[in-house]
Amino acid sequence: MGMQWEGKSFIDNLPKIYGVYTGGFLAFFALMAILEQMGVGADMIGILFVGFTIVIYAFIGVLSRTMAVDAYYVAGRSVPPVFNGMATAADWMSGASFVAMAGGIFMAGHGYMAFIVGWTGGYILVATLMAPYLRKFGCYTVPDFVGTRYGGKLARFCAIVVLIVASFTYVTAQITATGTIAARALQIPFEAGVWFGLAGILVCSMLGGMRAVTWTQVAQYIVLIVAYLIPIFWMSIAQGFGPFPQLAYGGAVERIMELEPVIGVGTKAVEAVPGLGVLTTLHATPKEGAIAAWQFVTLVACMMIGTASLPHILMRYFTTPSVRDARTSVAWSLFFIFLLYFSAPALATFSKLQMIDPTLPTAIIGKSIDEVMALNWIQKWGAIGLLAVKDGNADGILQINEFFLNPDIIVLATPEMAGLPYVISGLVAAGGMAAAMSTADGLLLAMANALSHDLYYKIIDPKAETKKRLLTARILLVVIGAAGALVASMKLTGILGAVAWAFCFAMSGLFFPLVLGVWWKRANRPGAIAGMVGGLGVGWWYLLAVRNPKEWYGLAEPWLGLNDLRFGIVGIVASLVCMVVVTLLTAAPDEETQRMVDEVRIPRGDTIIGAKA
């Protein structure tokens, strides 16, 4: 079947296509609910949810296969801003956002909110400093910009290195997440889940490159946002907070703050359960003092600047039809991301209130241990080690410091705590899978494209023909994916740690070379190389040093309380200093480069790379 993937009729039909798709997904959800009522088991429903959605993505991926360079690298530059916004939102929101965020807020209170602020506000930097100019440039990849703006193979190579370090760190976390969810929903071992997840990811990207990833990401966004919001709306209505809990949960926060001293939040646990913790942090009360405030703003800064430096996000804005569309598309991206992020604290709040408020039927704190242990969801999640009950003071009553949990169960188990049918849990599993797969796809594509376009075509073999280039791109995709899965199956770091590191690596190496490439005409090649090498090198050294204070790296105490989640602050300062000093010590870029920068700054006219070729 020949299918039209670009051009006016396809673009005009997009709202209809995805409207039908959304309706179909909701119908599937209804069908599952009916099957559950008819007595189909919970396991089967989980398998059907995850299996059905992956088949749909694979179908889109296969249909949108291509052999054209423009379609493979930048989706033919024909993605309308609203749809690119949805795709970016899926690209952006990882398994960590979907599964771990509400749980993090639940456990760590205000300190964790730095992720919410940091992972949204970064888009202001993307829109004002980068996206429109990179789109005008007309590059295929982020290193393509660096290589053309500064000239020379070495600058391009440095950008490839930073991209690979940051994206590979990130992708292992995503493949781990797909493995965890697949393992749980399909009831297979974790290692098998990892390879199964990878197969799903590759089917979406291998045949159609950016074009296929774009249209599967839109589909994945719809699944993940529906899966995140339906349980929240449902729970809110069930608890009498009305249909828009995001606007009405102030009262619930107030009630939690009243209850906290009564039930004794903050008392340490008597016993310890490995991998699990008890709630000891206040819900909405920030820690006092300048150090806590400093910790908050430095984490916000790392997440924001990292956002604006991550190549898999920046390259999404290469796919819009115009510079103006790239700009509006950033606004739409943030809007779609906002829908999930402003709901996460509401979910954390409701979930906590229903556990601790003695006037609610769902409360467990203050109940007798026997009564709590008889609950279905306590038994189920207890059996796989995600929660535990230990009667520390042996009074037979469950206290807040006797309830141990893994934060991830806030999203995964809240529907069951609230007594919602299992079909909701199946939906949540499909949503988490969509979130992790879409991010992994974007990251793998960013890496494979940089290696095939920048390293292979631009540096090693500039005469390679199209067919060979695209074949290389696909082989690299499989190889990098397999490497990621191999590392993921070794379970090296927690999901959140690896995600924060990726942001810090990206900001250390790429932020200033990209921004100053547009905003400072004087910036030159030696400066950019110094900025990338210096930033990545110093950032990496600092990460190793704070992680291993006893080793030879020469750092006994972290500077200013900057721990391993915040090493990007050190890296980016080094990057700025190196880039400015070296630039000023060497000659200004030539006339042609300066004219190129002038052209980048106005939307009108041909793309820079298109005009050069």
Partner 1 sequence: MTQLTQEQRALHWQRTRTLMIVHLTIWFIFSYVVHWFAVELNAIKFFGWPLGYYMSAQGSLVVFVVQLFMFSKQQHAIDVEFGVAEEE
Nearest to 292 by CA among 541, 112, 507: 112
Nearest to 201 by CA among 443, 371, 29: 443
* Closer CB to partner 1, 168 or 332, in the complex: 332
* Closer CB to partner 1, 120 or 216, in the complex: 120
Q: Which residue has the tokens 């556990």?
A: 355
* Closer CB to partner 1, 320 or 425, in the complex: 320
250 makes contact with partner 1 (CB under 8 A): yes
The phi and psi torsions of 553 (rounded to 5 degrees) equal -70, -15
Q: Which stretch binds partner 1 (CB under 8 A): 52-60, 143-151, 284-292, 531-539?
A: 284-292
Cβ neighbours of residue 16 closer than 8 Å, sequence gap 6 or more: none
Measure Cα distances from 407 to 30, 100, 252, 565 in Å. 29, 7, 20, 19
* Closer CB to partner 1, 76 or 345, in the complex: 345
257 makes contact with partner 1 (CB under 8 A): yes
Burial (0-12, 13-18, 19+ Cβ within 10 Å), 85: buried
For partner 1, the binding residue among 18, 28, 52, 335 (CB under 8 A) is 335
Shortest distance in whole angstroms from residue 226 CB to partner 1: 20
Q: Which stretch binds partner 1 (CB under 8 A): 8-16, 264-272, 319-327, 474-482?
A: 319-327
229 makes contact with partner 1 (CB under 8 A): no
385 makes contact with partner 1 (CB under 8 A): no
Q: Which stretch binds partner 1 (CB under 8 A): 137-145, 222-230, 283-291, 426-434?
A: 283-291
* Closer CB to partner 1, 467 or 522, in the complex: 522
* Closer CB to partner 1, 83 or 215, in the complex: 83
* Closer CB to partner 1, 343 or 449, in the complex: 343
Shortest distance in whole angstroms from residue 390 CB to partner 1: 30
Q: Which stretch binds partner 1 (CB under 8 A): 50-58, 326-334, 364-372, 572-580?
A: 326-334
Whether 337 and 92 have beta carbons less than 8 Å apart is answered as yes
The phi and psi torsions of 192 (rounded to 5 degrees) equal -65, -40
Nearest to 228 by CA among 18, 424, 32, 479: 424
Angle between helices 209-238 and 409-417 (to 10 degrees): 40
Secondary structure (H, E, C), 221-288 = HHHHHHHHHHHHHHHHHHCCCCCCHHHHCHHHHHHHHHHHHHHCCCCCCCCCCCCCECCCCCCCCCCC
Q: What count of other Cβ atoms lies within 10 Å of the Cβ of residue 264?
A: 13
- Binding-site string for partner 1 from residue 485 to residue 524, where x marks contact by CB under 8 A and - marks none: ----------------------------------x-----
For partner 1, the binding residue among 139, 165, 334, 427 (CB under 8 A) is 334
Within 367-410, strands assigned E span 387-389, 403-405
* Closer CB to partner 1, 127 or 528, in the complex: 127
Shortest distance in whole angstroms from residue 335 CB to partner 1: 5
Q: What count of other Cβ atoms lies within 10 Å of the Cβ of residue 564?
A: 17
* Closer CB to partner 1, 285 or 368, in the complex: 285
* Closer CB to partner 1, 330 or 545, in the complex: 330
For partner 1, the binding residue among 21, 59, 63, 110 (CB under 8 A) is 110
Q: How far apart are CA 561 and CA 579, in angstroms?
A: 26
Measure Cα distances from 16 to 21, 22, 27, 237, 589 in Å. 8, 10, 16, 30, 49
457 makes contact with partner 1 (CB under 8 A): no
Task: Provide the 3-class DSSP secondary structure of residue 399.
Answer: coil
Residue type, 223: V
210 makes contact with partner 1 (CB under 8 A): no
Shortest distance in whole angstroms from residue 329 CB to partner 1: 9
Q: How far apart are CA 560 and CA 484, in angstroms?
A: 34
The H or E element containing residue 489 is none
Measure Cα distances from 100 to 70, 408, 495 in Å. 36, 5, 9
For partner 1, the binding residue among 181, 330, 514, 538 (CB under 8 A) is 330
Shortest distance in whole angstroms from residue 89 CB to partner 1: 12
* Closer CB to partner 1, 550 or 604, in the complex: 604
331 makes contact with partner 1 (CB under 8 A): yes
382 makes contact with partner 1 (CB under 8 A): no
How many chain residues interact with partner 1 (CB under 8 A)? Answer: 53
* Closer CB to partner 1, 247 or 374, in the complex: 247
Whether 535 and 574 have beta carbons less than 8 Å apart is answered as yes
Q: How far apart are CA 577 and CA 584, in angstroms?
A: 11
Structure tokens at 425: 């849990």
Shortest distance in whole angstroms from residue 560 CB to partner 1: 15
Q: Which stretch binds partner 1 (CB under 8 A): 14-22, 114-122, 407-415, 505-513?
A: 114-122
How far is CA 14 from its chain centroid? 25
Residue type, 491: K
Shortest distance in whole angstroms from residue 588 CB to partner 1: 17
301 makes contact with partner 1 (CB under 8 A): yes
Q: What count of other Cβ atoms lies within 10 Å of the Cβ of residue 157?
A: 18
Q: Which stretch binds partner 1 (CB under 8 A): 60-68, 220-228, 249-257, 387-395?
A: 249-257
* Closer CB to partner 1, 172 or 319, in the complex: 319
284 makes contact with partner 1 (CB under 8 A): yes
Task: Provide the 3-class DSSP secondary structure of residue 218.
Answer: helix
Shortest distance in whole angstroms from residue 119 CB to partner 1: 10
124 makes contact with partner 1 (CB under 8 A): yes
* Closer CB to partner 1, 114 or 476, in the complex: 114
Residues between 549 and 608 with contacts to partner 1, criterion CB under 8 A: 598, 601-605
Binding site for partner 1 (CB under 8 A): 110, 113-114, 116-118, 120-121, 123-125, 127-129, 132, 246, 250-254, 257, 284-286, 288, 293, 296-297, 300-301, 304, 322-324, 327-328, 330-331, 334-335, 338, 341-342, 345-346, 519, 598, 601-605
